[in-house]
Amino acid sequence: EAGVAQSPRYKIIEKRQSVAFWCNPISGHATLYWYQQILGQGPKLLIQFQNNGVVDDSQLPKDRFSAERLKGVDSTLKIQPAKLEDSAVYLCASSFFLGPETEAFFGQGTRLTVV
Amino acid sequence: AQSVTQLGSHVSVSEGALVLLRCNYSSSVPPYLFWYVQYPNQGLQLLLKYTSAATLVKGINGFEAEFKKSETSFHLTKPSAHMSDAAEYFCAVLTGANNLFFGTGTRLTVIP
């Protein structure tokens, strides 16, 4: 079975520019997560979707970050405008449903460098 | 709120030696705990998880972890380290919203 697909793998932008990341979860997975992993730190949840509804976006900096999951499948995470501290790896993950008995599968991530 | 703390950001072991990576949790309810591994430029891969069925959990690649309520710990072990085990390891706990809260990670180096 195909894994979680993310693109692009790498992105370099200047501060104040905008950027978008794309995620295609595993087929049939209702739950989709976006995590931010800053160098030397563990992944931090940005937003969690159940189908096309938001379950948790409490740690999403909503003044500059936005995410959507149209039709409950693919998802896009956008940053506008980017700051230097947004440099990180952005990981997308998906799971079949919400709950401890399921496993979250992670994509390879998009490494963002803001200069 | 649930959280985890990983002790030691870097651990070095000799090939063939015991691997011990430490994780302590904080939770007001019985926790669901996970260990993930991340190889360079890769996503995270689940090693094992504790969901209250058994306190000793066996995972992939010879790793196991023991849930100890009295110590609020969920340490990861492997009897004999292999070069291919060199990676970053993350402990995580499932939050009330059914997403993962990760520790800061431990980088494992295996010395030949």
CA dist., res. B111 & res. A102, Å (int): 35
Cβ(B110)–Cβ(B15) under 8 Å? Answer: yes
Task: Decide if B84 touches A, using CB distance below 8 A.
Answer: no
Q: Is the pLDDT of residue B4 over 70?
A: yes
Distance in Å, alpha carbon of B69 to nearest chain A alpha carbon? 18
Q: What angle do CA B100, A35, B33 make, to 5 degrees?
A: 15
Beta strand residue intervals within chain B, DSSP E: 3-7, 10-14, 19-26, 33-38, 44-50, 56-58, 64-68, 73-78, 87-94, 100-102, 106-111
Task: Decide if B105 touches A, using CB distance below 8 A.
Answer: yes
Q: Copy the structure tokens of residue B46.
A: 């689940």
Distance in Å, alpha carbon of B90 to nearest chain A alpha carbon? 7
Pairing of strands B10-14, B3-7: unpaired
pLDDT digits (tens), chain A, 115 positions: 689 999 999 999 999 999 999 999 999 999 999 999 999 899 999 999 999 899 999 999 999 999 999 888 999 999 999 999 999 999 999 999 878 778 899 999 999 999 9
Count of Cβ atoms closer than 10 Å to residue B37 Cβ: 21
CA dist., res. B35 & res. B23, Å (int): 9
CA atoms within 13 A on the CB side of A107: 28
Q: Is the pLDDT of residue B29 over 90?
A: no
The dihedrals phi and psi of B58, each to the nearest 5 degrees, come to -100, 140
Read off the pLDDT of residues B45-72 as tens digits, 9 standing for 90 and up.
999 999 887 899 999 999 999 999 999 9
Q: Taking residues B68-84, what's their average pLDDT?
A: 96
Choose among A55, A100, A104: nearest Cβ to B51.
Answer: A100
Sign of the torsion formed by the C-alpha atoms of B41, B47, B51 and B55: negative
Nearest CA in chain B to A95: B99
The mean of the pLDDT values for chain B is: 94
Locus of tokens 């004999």: B80
| Residues of chain A that touch chain B, judged by Cβ-Cβ distance less than 8 Å | 4, 31, 33, 35, 40-45, 48, 55-56, 91, 93, 98-101, 103-104, 106-109
